[in-house]
A and B are shown apart, each in its own frame.
Chain A
């Protein structure tokens, strides 16, 4: 069955530091992968998506993610974190057979000044 694993439940970084959030997926075919961000009390906002082509995808708010098929990973990165980036981040894979998104359990990012 398709699944997404986010091994880090909680990450703390200093403002201005670089960030990498890990995501591993399990999917038989070429995956369609997504990263969403959720601020407290809010819905989810799409940061970026990967369908095919260039394995390094750019998203909004200065985020990027790299698809590595050999590692079944789709890690999210940002070179310099801002205090406003504090939120929960979800990686997801599209199940094309059932036409729905399967989400990981999320990584909570805390940013210290």
Chain B
């Protein structure tokens, strides 16, 4: 069990640029979640996948955000035309089959700073 891996750890970008983050979940985990955490707040749900299918997207996920999990393994989260309000920690988590049947394992996150 190598844990959930997220890359990069930090990303600084200028407003208007596109950024992409990667998440590698624990290998046998079918579910993969993306959360966003801003300073002084708890993580807020963005979206999740069951294998390669994206099952739900939060209203927080505007049209500038897109997430994929093409082969049911790693996932990417892309933000187009970044805005300063996108600055946050983006957390990925995976679980075997669901939040209440098996625990979520979180990665260390990608901290995005938009200047």
Residues on A lying within 8 angstroms of B by beta carbon are: 4, 9, 32, 34, 36, 41-46, 49, 51, 90, 92, 94, 96, 98-106
Contacts and interface: CB of A to CB of B under 8 A. Distances in A.
B48 A103 contact: no
A106 B39 CA distance: 11
A44 to B, nearest CB: 4
Interface in B21-47: 33, 40-45
Contact of A99 (B91, B98, B105): B98
Nearest to A42: B108
A101 B104 contact: yes
Interface of B: 4, 33, 40-45, 48, 55-56, 91, 93, 98-100, 103-109
Nearest to A103: B42
B4 A99 contact: no
Question: Looking at B4, B107, B108, which has the most chain A CB atoms within 10 Å of its CB?
Answer: B108
| Binding site secondary structure of chain B | loop
Contacts, number: 59
A49 B103 contact: yes
Given A43-B107, A101-B104, A106 B56 contact: no
Closest 5 CB pairs of A and B: A103-B42, A43-B106, A44-B106, A32-B100, A100-B45
A103 B43 contact: yes
A32 B33 CA distance: 18
Given A43-B4, A45-B106, A103 B44 contact: yes
Most chain A CB neighbours (cut-off 10 Å) among B40, B104, B107 = B104
B100 A90 contact: no
Contacts of B93: 43-44
B4 A101 contact: no
B108 A41 contact: yes
